[in-house]
Amino acid sequence: MEITIQSIRFESSKKLESFIQKKVKGLSKFNDDVLSADVTLKVVKPETNDNKDASIRLLLSRTEFFVQEVANTFEEAIDKCVAKLERQVVKHKEKQRTKSTPNPLKGAFENA
C-alpha cells in the first residue's frame, strides 16, 4: 500500500509521519484490496483549541473512502480517522460478502 502524507502550512515531524504510516498500514488487515492512502494534515487556526485537521482518502480496488477529523493533536485526529475508516471498510466488506453469497432460503418456499 502506498501512503502519501501532505502537510499544509507546516512541516510535519518524522515521528508524526511514522505514527501515521503505522496507523494507516493497519487498515490493510481489514481488506486486501487497499491500494493507497492520501493523508492531508493542516492547522486551521493556530491560536485556538481543536485546530488540527486531518483527512484520509483510502483507495480500494473498486471504491474509495474519505474521512476528516479535527482534534487537539494530529495523533488524536488520525486515531479518529482510522477508527472511522475501519468501520467503513468492514461494513463495505460485509456488504460485498452478502452480495456474493447466495441466499439458501431464496426460492425454497416457491414449490411448497
How does pLDDT run across 45-88, given as a tens digit for each residue? 877 888 999 999 999 988 999 999 999 999 999 999 999 999 99
Percent residues over pLDDT 70 in the chain: 90
Q: Is the pLDDT of residue 105 over 60?
A: yes
Domain membership flag for residue 109: no
Q: Is residue 112 in some structural domain?
A: no
Model confidence, pTM: 0.84
Residue 105 included in any domain: no
- Does 78 fall in a domain? yes
- Name the average pLDDT for the chain: 89
Q: Considering the domain boundaries, does residue 111 fall inside one?
A: no
Give residue-wise pLDDT tens across range 54-66.
Answer: 999 999 988 999 9
Dihedral, CA atoms, 108, 110, 111, 112, nearest 10 degrees? 80
Q: Which amino acid is at 66?
A: F
Cα 108 to Cα 112: distance, rounded to the nearest angstrom: 8
What is the per-residue pLDDT for 99?
79
What number of helices (H) and strands (E) belong to the chain? 2, 4
Asked whether residue 107 is assigned to any structural domain, the reply reads: no
User: Domain with 34 in it: what CATH number?
Assistant: 3.30.160.100
Query: For residue 44, what are the domain limits?
Result: 2-100
Quick check: is 106 in a domain? no
pLDDT of 44 reads 87
What total of structural domains would you count in the chain? 1
